[in-house]
């Protein structure tokens, strides 16, 4: 089964290859090289569907997309869907610094509870349902806390400051296989893998 991956984030592509490759036999993931749509949805699910719809319309093939981010309770859920540009740039290190300084401004006893979220969308223009392409979206949540300082060289984005519940190290200090077994992306795309497997078997 050939599926277009509607992301321009190379780290996501790597993780998706590992997560989906192990679960969907015969899956061929193709890079999306078309224009990026405006991500103006008000949720991870809405934005994942916007990206998958654009790639499906452009390619005529089933397309999957990931919209994800970190939400910090004490910051009212920020940066949430704005995670990629929280500091005003796409720079991961600048985004991490900005998040740490926003939390520091709340004082040393601020609640550091946070969660990663990932919406995994599939849009398949080869099957129409009520006149529109088939589409579905799955959500994965990874609970944890924001660390006092960055640690670790693995992963990407906010991984160096995310302490997953149950671990004493950040998600940048565990292996790629460990992260891909328990992350928000693993949960969302494991659920989507079941949908892809069922469709590939038809």
Binding mask 95-134 for ligand ITT (x = CB under 6 A): x--------------------x------------------
Segment interacting with ligand ITT (CB under 6 A) among 19-27, 54-62, 103-111, 156-164: 156-164
Total binding residues toward ligand ITT, as defined by CB under 6 A:
21
| Strand pairing report for 2-5 and 28-31 | parallel
Looking at 37, 55, 63, 67, which residue binds ligand ITT (CB under 6 A)? 67
Burial class (CB within 10 angstroms; exposed 0-12, middle 13-18, buried 19+) of 1: middle
Report how far residue 37's alpha carbon sits from residue 39's, in angstroms, rounded to the nearest whole number. 6
**Residue 18 interacts with ligand ITT (CB under 6 A): yes or no:** no
Q: How far is the CB of 33 from ligand ITT (least distance, A)?
A: 12
Q: Is residue 66 part of an annotated ligand binding site? A: no
Segment interacting with ligand ITT (CB under 6 A) among 3-11, 53-61, 99-107, 191-199: 3-11
**Residue 155 interacts with ligand ITT (CB under 6 A): yes or no:** yes
Give me Rg for the CA atoms of the chain.
Answer: 17
Catalytically annotated residues: 67
**Residue 7 interacts with ligand ITT (CB under 6 A): yes or no:** yes
- Residue list, annotated binding site for substrate: 7-12, 68, 156-159, 179, 184-185
User: Which residues are near ligand ITT by CB under 6 A?
Assistant: 7-9, 12, 51, 66-69, 83-84, 92, 95, 116, 155-159, 183, 185
């Amino acid at each position: 089964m050939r599926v277009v991956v509607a992301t321009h984030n190379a780290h996501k592509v790597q993780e998706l290859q590992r997560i989906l490759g192990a679960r969907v036999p015969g899956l061929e993931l193709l890079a999306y090289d078309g224009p990026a749509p405006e991500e103006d949805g008000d949720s991870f699910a809405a934005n994942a569907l916007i990206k998958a719809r654009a790639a499906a319309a452009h390619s005529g093939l089933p397309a999957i997309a990931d919209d994800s981010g970190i939400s910090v309770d004490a910051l009212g859920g920020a940066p949430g869907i704005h995670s990629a540009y929280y500091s005003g740039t796409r720079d991961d290190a600048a985004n991490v610094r900005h998040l740490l300084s926003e939390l520091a401004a709340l004082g040393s006893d601020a609640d550091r509870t946070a969660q990663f979220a990932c919406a995994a969308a599939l849009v398949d223009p080869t099957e129409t349902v009520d006149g529109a392409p088939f589409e579905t979206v799955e959500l994965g949540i990874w609970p944890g806390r924001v660390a006092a300082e960055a640690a670790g060289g693995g992963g990407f984005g906010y991984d160096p400051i995310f302490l997953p519940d149950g671990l004493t190290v950040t998600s940048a200090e565990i292996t790629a296989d460990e992260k891909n077994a328990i992350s928000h992306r693993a949960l969302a795309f494991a659920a989507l893998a079941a949908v892809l497997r069922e469709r590939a078997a038809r």
